Structure 1
Amino acid sequence: MSLAHTRAIGLVAALFVAAPAMAGETPVEVGVRPLYLIDKMADGPLKDVLKACIGKPVRPTLFSIGHRGAPLMFPEHTVESNRAAAWQGAGILECDVTFTKDKELVCRHAQNDLHTTTNIVTTDLGKKCTQPFVPASGTKPAQAECRTSDITLAEFRQLTPKMDGANVSAVTAKNYLDGTANWRTDLYAAEPAKTMTHKESIELFRALRAKFTPELKTPVVAMPFNGFSRADYAQKLINEYKEAGVPASDVWPQSFDIADIRYWIAHEPAFGAQAVYLIDDETIPGLDGMNPSSWGFDPAALKREGINYVAPAITFLLTLDANGKIVPSRLARALKAADIKIIAWSLERSGPLTDGGGWYFQSVSKVIRGGGDYYTVLDVLAKDVGATGVFSDWPATVSYYASCQGLR
């Protein structure tokens, strides 16, 4: 075995040394992926700094936020996915909140995603779906739409989570489930994972010594739903933290609907002080990080009404300068000038970056070449944009960087 080979094995092994946990901390294991991404970086000062941290302790950090847990490899919004995120150093974990037919709050990314995130179409409950499975035929893709509001909580508990995705060419319900992206894995879905209610997520995250960022998902059903109003929905989310004795300072409730943020500020000011206004070009059509007339809001005005956190997708926080260097967008600069804290989403959501990074990196795609650019972008978000946290589908990547840079 060559000396170089021996050294390489030593570097890999160093990443698997657990950081000694301090009292009250979850032990952190970041695995080999951060080293892999560092190895793919272009040579330069940032790469040197990150390499110098190999083998040093990685600790839980609020800068690292588990986006639906760790769904790069684990079925999202499951017990297993969130345990993995906490083990990777995520100091804040997310439950996207929606509701069942009997108005119970559960963790799902959308009210109508059960057909892509669970096995519902292959069960008897599939008959209750808004659109039961229809096989592909000719040029027509397979169809299904299954909502949490189609079933009761007891029925929701019968479902088996899976990696998000669907095979739209399928002619059988079983094959429809086979839609995992080729850069993810079904390895950790082979043994059934566990779904969570919102209340169960609170208990799990507390046991993992993590803090909370629930997102109130916009309903696809007309509201009020059987007498359950949007205000009832927003209030129930907060009530479940109060009932569990969780202090407002540990919770960052999120929504893409500014009306929810304003409701929390008015009716639950302690929780509203950390409410996070999410923005993208779906909820603000035409949003452009470099064009203030497209934003639909004035950052200073948001601050005056008590909105202290705004979370744009990564692409809206970045742009390229005249030399092709990644720098903060006008939106990022305006939010910072208004003293609004910025949270970015979502790193490691794009898979391999060899195609320019896809939607999350479209504003800087001209200089995105490969996996090492995850760290290039993360460095700009942390140091230049001034983000206070970054959502990631694989929190180890962010946790390693945060510990290396001394971010808590």
Structure 2
Amino acid sequence: MSRITRVLAGGLAVAAVAGFCTTVAGGVAPAAADRAGRPVVIGHRGASGLRPEHTLASYRMAISQGADYIEPDIVATKDRRLVARHDNWLADSTDVENRSEFADRRKTKTVDGTTRTDWFTEDFTLAELRTLRTEERIPAVRPDNTVFDGLEPIPTLEEVLELARKHDVGVYPETKHPTYFDGLGLSMEEPLVATLHRYGFDSRGDKVFIQSFETANLRDLRHLTKVRLVQLIDGSGAPYDLVKSGDRRTYADLVKPEGLKWIASYAQGVGPATNRIVPVTADGRLGTPTTLVRDAHRRGLTVHTWTVRNENEFLPADFRQGNAAAPGYRSATGDVGGWLSKLYKLGVDGVFCDDPSAGVGARTEVFGS
């Protein structure tokens, strides 16, 4: 089968999938879903369950499926340009390891306390990065997406914003590894705010959120922009900026009432991992829901949870389907609609989805058309 035939076949196969994933974004006056009092659907890295993440094809797919927001993760290049990548290392999502002209760029670095040998965006100019081609980051779970390997360059933040403006959807950028980039003299917050402003995303009512797992950059952003800010809350660990500064608070501390009070002093929302809303027991099943959604709402904070994915690999055991011993069980689609419906009924304001059509479908089931 030729590459073109494979791409066409893969595209038709993916298009035939009726995904079931949605995202919610609360706030002052964002997308139509917000204004209607319904949760929003956030296209997690685009529609990353159906196309390689952080590609224009992935963002376009998310828009076509009805996502209210598309989410670009942002990292910096050597020449201070912002591009959409999940992390600043490149080997797991591009063809850089096959490019002999960049062999000497492979380095060992420590990012947020973890040592890694790879190729890093900050060692490339934008022009050099644009010669690379994107690839599926988790091919073992999403083999169908590999048909799109090698077809697209790494998109710039400007390209993502142009796409959002063209289709009148919101954007939800995340600054990745901000303390690390600050240490390199490549602060991302100022160019991010300037670029958003250039495309008309600059007020509290605009369809934009800026999110981060760290706190210091969000506290700085509070003085740089009027757009809404969201403190991400991981399922374990602590914000790296707090760790580096010697602050002993963890994410578990930040979801307590006092932690939420502090977050509300600089942000308009929280983005907790789903297990902060419904813990998972040792056997992979859901436990008793926490009070996080209620507590956050009492502080006036929007709650956008992450990440809902269709595959059994990523679903709570309660919503997995099929025979665990069968080939392809990990990547088989489970009852993602049931999982989304449960989250909606627990009162979340938004959900990050790898397949936005699933979120839209579940929202319709729970809230009506």
Supply the AA of the counterpart residue of 1:115. Answer: A
Equivalent position amino acid for 1:33 in 2: A
- Inter-partner Cα distance in structure 1 for 2:66 and 2:107: 39
Partner of 1:390: 351
**Residue deviations 1:48-79, cap 9 Å, x none?**
xxxxxxxxxxxxx9711111111113111111
Q: What's 2:120 paired with?
A: 147
Q: Decide whether aligned partners of structure 1 residues 72 and 256 sit closer, same or farther in structure 2, where only a CA change above 3 A counts.
A: same
Query: Counterparts in 2 of 1:327-346, with a 5 A limit?
Result: 327-346=288-307
1:239 and 1:222 mapped to 2: Cα distance?
17
User: 2:160 pairs with 201, 220, 224, which one?
Assistant: 201
What SS class does the counterpart of residue 262 from structure 1 fall into? Answer: helix
1:267 to 218, 224, 246: 224
Superposition CA RMSD, Å? 3.3
Q: 1:96 is matched with which residue?
A: 73
The answer as to 2:198 corresponding to 1:243 is: yes
Structure 1: distance between partners of 2:124 and 2:117: 15
Count of aligned positions:
310
Q: Which residue of 2 aligns with 1:254?
A: 211
Q: Is 1:377 paired with 2:339?
A: yes
Alpha-carbon shift at residue 406 of structure 1 (Å): 3.7
SS of the aligned residue for 1:342 comes to strand
* 1:288-307 alignment, distance < 5 Å: 298-303=259-264, 305-307=265-267
* CA distance 1:306–1:292, shift in 2 (3 Å): closer
Unaligned runs of 5+ in 1: 1-15, 17-28, 38-60, 133-142, 166-179
> CA offsets per residue over residues 159-210 of structure 1, 9 Å max, x none?
0000014xxxxxxxxxxxxxx1144423541561232111111001212321
Q: 1:320: how far off?
A: 7.5
Secondary structure at 2:68's aligned position in 1? strand
TM-score by length of 1: 0.67
Q: Deviations over 1:376-407 (max 9, x none)?
A: 321222121x2111111111110111233347
Over 3 Å counting, the alpha-carbon distance change for 1:388 and 1:293 in structure 2 is closer
Tell me if structure 2 keeps the 8 A contact 1:30–1:396.
no
The corresponding residue for 2:175 is: 216
Scaled by the length of structure 2, the TM-score of the pair is 0.74
- Name the aligned partner's letter for residue 235 of structure 1: E
The 1:80–1:394 alpha-carbon spacing in structure 2 relative to 1, beyond 3 Å, is same
> How far, CA to CA, are the matches of 1:296 and 1:162 in structure 2?
42
Distance in 2, matches of 1:208 and 1:62, equals: 20
Q: In structure 2, list runs of 5 or more residues that go unmatched.
A: 1-11, 22-37, 109-115, 322-332
- Measured in 2, the distance between the counterparts of 1:339 and 1:345 equals 19
Percentage identity across aligned positions?
25
What does the per-residue CA deviation read over 1:330-354, in whole Å, with 9 as the maximum and x for residues that have no partner? Answer: 33332233231100111117x225x
Instruction: Compute the displacement of 1:298 (Å).
Output: 1.9
Q: Distance in 2 between matches of 1:332 and 1:197?
A: 34
Give runs of ≥4 in structure 1 deviating > 4 Å. Answer: 219-222, 284-289, 291-297, 324-327
8 A contact 1:202–1:212 mirrored in 2: yes
The structure with the largest alpha-carbon Rg is: 1
Distance change (3 Å), C-alpha of 1:194 and 1:298: same
Partner letter of residue 189 of structure 1? F
Instruction: State the structure with bigger RCO (CA 8 A, min sep 6), 1 or 2.
Output: 2
Go from structure 1 to structure 2 and tell me whether the alpha carbon gap of 1:292 and 1:110 turns closer, same or farther (over 3 Å shift). Answer: closer
